[in-house]
Amino acid sequence: MKIKDLTVEQKSEFRRELPKFDLFLKEHLKHLATTSLSLYKRTLSYISVINNLQNLDTKDICICLTQKALTNNNLIHIIGDENTTNNNKNIRLSAFKNLVEIFKTDIKKEISSVAYNSIIEKLGKRGCKIRQNILKDRQNKDVETNPISNLNWEELQSLNKEYLKKFKEIQHQYIKYNEIPDYMFLRDCLVCNLYVNNTFKHKTLDFNVILRNEYKSLYLHIGDNQPPTTNKNYLWVKLEGNDSKIVINKNKTTGGVKRCISNDIGHTKIIPQKDQKIFALNKDITKIILFIQQVFNERKDRPFIKSNNRVSNYTSSTWSKMLTRVFKNIDSKISSSLVRKIYYQKIMEGNYSINEKQLIYEMSDFSLTNSIFEKVKQSDNIVEEKHTKLLVEENLKLMLSSSTLKGEKEIHFL
């Protein structure tokens, strides 16, 4: 059952519940992003209405739902029946668990401490099963629709060479005849290079920096002084040397908090993410950036990469459409996530060590679980080490089919 399946009366009750949970969540879960707060607000309002608890306050709603969950193994009153998708089950369970954690003291007082520990463990175990099903669903879908088998990294490289060839011709025409170039082509050329050609060498290891869709909101900062530490992200171009950078202060893995698994079964904890991440930006790309800046004198108070009208900023939707056009000669439905997956597939098939793979993935703001790598490093048992490395490879395959890699909504881990 979904919100659209509610009766007319229930929909009215649902709308009346929204302000109550909106105020409640903003007060108690200030660390969450606006989108998560909105999602949980609607989810808890829905759960309240279908359980006929809309006339109660938030604490009593939590107590009633908890008491029922303790005697109801299938948790249908919270996550729904077998017709509910695993994604929706995960969101509902996550929203309810947040509610339980907020009223931890009240549950222990009005029910018991044992009840609180039992419900937390129950929700944790159920959440693990749901998320495993989500990954399996995505893997099965990926097997059916995965376009990687028809694409390879060399094709993307060939396309980028065509962009660079035309860029040099345009640059020559501008210098010799002062011919103003087409902004849309220069923008597309820059975007293609950011995704495909931001190549660097670390010791003997060649790697590419490939971020998600952060490029659409990068501001230009030219000079030796580091950009200010704000919520903005930057293209930091240094005029001397080959040391330009991409500075990320805020994205899905930076400048916020995340929920992770605790040492206690069924429990989680909230930890801060890194305040800032800095990635390499090679000289070829800085040349394109500086040429665009020279020709069009872009404003520094707006993101550097502009839409077709050169006024409005990119949204996720318009950025995706632009990427489709940039890579249209390769695939009609290519996206940033697909470019990343093609590259990761290349690395997966390459003869790299575990540590080298870890470094390469970190260069694209994506890394394996540290605990897995620590286990590999610390293991003295050769058989155990081989087994653990196999687990790492399996973990990589799961990640490659996961939407968290695709820049879509993250799985809401409990």
Do the beta carbons of residue 45 and residue 39 sit within 8 Å?
no
Burial zone of 59 (CB within 10 Å; 0-12 exposed, 13-18 middle, 19+ buried): middle
The amino acid sitting at 73 is N
Contacts of 219 (CB under 8 A, 6+ apart): 227, 232, 233, 234, 235, 300, 301, 302, 303, 304
DSSP 227: P
Q: For 257-277, give the DSSP string.
A: EEEEE-SSTT-EEEEEPBS-E
Span 277-287, pLDDT tens digits? 899 999 999 99
Alpha-carbon distance 382 to 7, whole Å?
A: 61
Q: Which residues pair with 248 in a beta bridge?
A: 277
Q: Which residues of the chain have pLDDT under 70?
A: 1, 139, 141-149, 256-270, 366-414
Q: SS3 for 219?
A: strand
Task: Label the pairing between strands 277-280 and 245-248.
Answer: antiparallel
The amino acid sitting at 411 is I
pLDDT of residue 355: 80
DSSP 217: G
Contacts of 200 (CB under 8 A, 6+ apart): 206, 207, 208, 209, 280, 282, 363
Do the beta carbons of residue 366 and residue 410 sit within 8 Å?
no
Closest C-alpha to 347, from 246, 203, 142, 206: 206
Q: SS3 for 315?
A: coil
The amino acid sitting at 4 is K
Do the beta carbons of residue 53 and residue 64 sit within 8 Å?
yes
State the helix-helix crossing angle for 183-196 and 153-177, rounded to 10 degrees.
140
Task: Label the pairing between strands 218-222 and 233-237.
Answer: parallel
Alpha-carbon distance 318 to 133, whole Å?
A: 32
Helix (H) or strand (E) holding 248: strand 245-248
Closest C-alpha to 199, from 291, 280, 286: 280
Task: Label the pairing between strands 245-248 and 233-237.
Answer: antiparallel
Give phi and psi for 368, each to the nearest 5.
-75, 165
Q: Which residues pair with 219 in a beta bridge?
A: 234
Alpha-carbon distance 232 to 217, whole Å?
A: 8
pLDDT of residue 370: 39
pLDDT of residue 106: 96
Token match 């790697």: residue?
A: 207
Contacts of 251 (CB under 8 A, 6+ apart): 211, 212, 214, 233, 365
Please give the structure tokens belonging to residue 163: 């962009």
Token match 């930091």: residue?
A: 236
Alpha-carbon distance 305 to 220, whole Å?
A: 9
Span 88-112, pLDDT tens digits? 999 999 999 999 999 999 999 999 9
Token match 């109660």: residue?
A: 56
